Amino acid sequence: MPATRAILEGLDLARYFGPALIVGGDGPHLRKPDPAGLRFLVEQAAVISADTLLVGDSEIDWQTAQKFAVPMILADYGFGSAGVDEATRRRCLGVLEQPLDLLAIL
């Protein structure tokens, strides 16, 4: 997860994410669509799944949200969004064209 940390630092966002709060495919949790990483983050945030929303850009993210029983918003600007079929797009809570669009949904 060093690459994620470098990106967060480059965007001046690292201060908002402690090392334990970065979950990736090379970490201790099973890979998506297993919801273990999402479950861990929800527990760390001390929230309940009913107050959780997954923002993702792929079919795998959609499957992860479904397995954890939370809604998903599709980040259409993400690298995986081209592989998300129309049926899945319609089942998402919303579609973001750019990161700032999230503010209008929340």
What does R_g of the chain's alpha carbons equal in angstroms? Answer: 14
pLDDT band at 15 (very low <50, low <70, confident <90, very high): very high
- Average pLDDT along the chain: 92
Residue 101, CA distances (Å) to 67, 95, 105 in order = 25, 9, 7
- Whether 34 is in a domain gets the answer no
Residues 6 or more apart in contact with residue 50 via CB below 8 angstroms:
none
- Residue numbers of the domain that contains 63: 48-105
- Whether 73 is in a domain gets the answer yes
pLDDT band at 25 (very low <50, low <70, confident <90, very high): confident
Q: Which helix (H) or strand (E) holds 3?
A: helix 2-10
Count CB-CB contacts under 10 A for residue 16: 8
- Whether 55 is in a domain gets the answer yes
Mean pLDDT of 19-37: 89
Q: Mind listing the pLDDT tens digit for each residue in 51-97?
A: 999 999 999 999 999 999 999 999 999 999 999 999 999 999 999 99
- Whether 53 is in a domain gets the answer yes
- Whether 80 is in a domain gets the answer yes
Query: In the chain, how many domains are there?
Result: 1
